[in-house]
Chain A
Amino acid sequence: MNRLFLQRAVAGAINLVIGLALGASIGAGTAMAQGAPAPAPPPGFPVTVPNCGDTLRIAAPPKRMVVHDLNMVEMAMALGLQPSMVGVTGITGWYKADAAFLRRLGSIPELAPKYPTLETLVAAKPDLFFAGWYYGMQPGGDVTPATLARHGIQTLVLTESCAHALGDKPRATMDLLYGDLLRLGTVFGRRAEAERLVVQWRERVRAAARPALPVPPRVFVYDSGEDKPFTAGRAAMPTALIEAAGGRNVLGDVSMSWGNAAWETVAASNPQFIVLLDYQNGQGPEHLQQILQAHPAMRLTDAVRHRRFITLRYAELTPGPANIEAIEKLARALRQPP
């Protein structure tokens, strides 16, 4: 009930923001039309933002952005960027899109249910593609910042995903979310809004993490896989979420982003809580729970014996606004009396 109310409240607030943004952009449009024919850079532009070990120089706020994947679309919607979006990709191929999300998306079309092809993207004539490595782009694939640049499309790369492309795998922190929202705000000339949002989020995270736990509980993230688990390592977002909530990812020191681990490592670390990833695709977290309960070593862990499972959606575990709600859920679960 509570969560539903919260979602509606957020949706309402976002609609309001969209309305304002629409008004503002129309206003800006008419002002431009009345001005000189040569488009002068808007105030504050050009801007540069760090971009996966590189810098991205944006001459003017993008007007035709394409965004890949649920978490990044939610980030864009948190800043009310829908009027500047011409398409999304990689939503319905993997998730049952829920009604609230579709309502907020409005009439923005989905260009591809899974990864977009270069052709699909070019045909949509975007000026900016917001995606990441293995979030819509694959190293060596046909859609990369380099191939898109040849068609005049700039790419804003999700910072968490840089660990897949660059050699170093820095420890994930909440700055992966905050930093990316600020970058997005900067690119669209909405830096102040983004900063306000980040301040609110930081406050919610601080509140959720109280009271501080004397010993951080051990948490394991289970995405999928039966012969060996697919999970989150040091550079993946869940490590940051678990730490923000006051816990510790049992694989938080393994030098990888999302990847495969070994069951015996996980079992030997004896997690006290297990985060199950719900892809909302029908098979569901119950199936993951069954695998854990049938596993000869995992069923002996504290988490499985006491059935301490926390189900989180994909968008809650990948960098995006839903991370904040995920931290609140995690923090509540970690603080429940045994």
Chain B
Amino acid sequence: MKSQSATEGATAAVASRRHGLRRLLPLALVLGMALLVMLSLTAGSAPVSWREAAAALAAPWAADAGSAGSSSMVNAIVLELRLPRVLLALLVGAALALVGGLLQSTTRNDLADPFLFGLSSGASAGAVAVITLTGDWLGAWTLPAATFAGAAVAAAAVLVLVRRAGGQGPAQTVLAGLAVSFLFGALTHGLVFAGDQRAAHAVVFWSLGGLGLARWDNLWLAVLGLLVPAVFVWRSHRALDALLAGDDTAHSLGIAPEKLRTRAFVVAAVATACCVALAGVIGFVGLMVPHLARRLAGPLHAAFLPVAAVLGGALLLASDLVARTLLGSQELPVGIVTAGIGAVFVMALLRRPVNA
């Protein structure tokens, strides 16, 4: 845990520079994002030019709809494959970053993220369980319900384990999370293995993620996954700030840390479940983005969590762009790219002095 006063001192020292940076930050983020979105709509394994992409985007408003066959295919690729995929990347990236930031604050642990706490593996175990064992018993709600059940069980298990172990020591929390994560990972792989082993890509999807399932009719789930943590952050960012100063200080300010922590876990479970149901398990976004955002916007939740959300969306979008274009017409699981970037990021983090 960083020393709070040291962080504040450092913040004061570079306050003037930070101030200028912070005013430029939204502009830089918006410009970078727009560029990324345009690149994502035009680049891909099927050749689509800038002009064709622009025409496709204008198509729903164009008067002469049913035009030539080839352009209707380009329209379908841009409007119904790439555009929902871009939105899914932004929503899931933002949601994962928010969840990571929330978990890091409430457990006061720099390593916390949906993956470490077993939420992701719980959700994917739930999904794989219904796919291999029961089938669609709730229609379109089956997968979200199953991922939520899995994530909720994982969250509950971590909370109970941490409480039993007494206190909220960072090491204890990490161990509890890892244990739950590995347990559900084992369950997922066991279920896939016992089922159709030949469908090896099913394992890959549930452990490395992918954004290929993005459709207009399932994006609402990702919207829900982002809205739930966003509303929670908006309503309780002051309480979260207070928690940074320690449980005792929070108590004295009239905040119940245990309650807040439990609620944050429930919110994290819901959001993770929505993300996993659509995109599988995508690691590292929730871990590294909040750290980056804190560095850019400071430790207060109302400031850094929105930045984290935007950065998370941009990171996942950029990662997906790499995953879609690196091997030509073959598609990489996006988790490979985020994990690669994430590992390098953690190494860079380790090389810096502790209070940088």
Contacts and interface: CB of A to CB of B under 8 A. Distances in A.
B245 interface: no
Interface of B: 44-47, 72-74, 76-77, 80-82, 196-199, 201, 205, 210-213, 215, 280, 324, 328-331
A261 B329 contact: yes
B77 A267 contact: yes
19 contacts: A94-B197, A224-B199, A226-B212, A227-B212, A228-B210, A228-B212, A228-B331, A260-B201, A261-B329, A262-B330, A262-B331, A263-B81, A264-B44, A264-B81, A268-B47, A268-B73, A279-B198, A297-B80, A300-B72
A94 B196 CA distance: 7
Given A228-B331, A264-B46, A297-B77, 9 more contacts: A94-B196, A224-B198, A225-B199, A227-B280, A230-B199, A261-B329, A267-B77, A279-B196, A297-B76
A262 B45 contact: yes
B276 to A, nearest CB: 13
B331 A296 contact: no
Interface in A93-128: 93-94, 114
Contacts of B45: 261-262, 264-265
A147 interface: no
Contacts of B329: 251, 254, 261-262, 265
Interface residues of A, number: 28
- Helix, strand, loop or mixed for chain B's interface? loop
Contacts of A301: 73
A61 B196 CA distance: 36
Contacts of B72: 300
Contacts of A264: 44-46, 77, 81-82
A60 B228 CA distance: 71
A265 B215 CA distance: 17
B337 to A, nearest CB: 15
Given A260-B201, A261-B331, A264-B82, A226 B213 contact: yes
A301 B73 CA distance: 8
Given A114-B197, A227-B212, A228-B201, A259 B46 contact: no
A84 interface: no
Contacts of A161: none
Interface in A244-294: 251, 254, 256, 259-265, 267-268, 270, 279, 281
A297 B197 contact: no
Interface in A213-246: 224-228, 230
A228 B47 CA distance: 18
Contacts of A270: 73
Contacts of B210: 227-228
Contacts of B331: 228, 260-262
B118 to A, nearest CB: 23
Contacts of A225: 199, 201
A265 B46 contact: yes
Nearest to A95: B198
Contacts of A268: 46-47, 73-74, 77
A296 B197 contact: no
Contact of A260 (B198, B215, B330): B330
Contacts of A230: 199, 201
Given A267-B46, A268-B47, A268-B73, A297 B81 contact: yes
B154 to A, nearest CB: 23
A226 B81 CA distance: 13
Most chain B CB atoms below 10 A, which of A254, A262, A267, A268: A262
B40 to A, nearest CB: 12
A72 B45 CA distance: 35
A260 B80 CA distance: 20
Nearest to B210: A227
A94 B73 contact: no
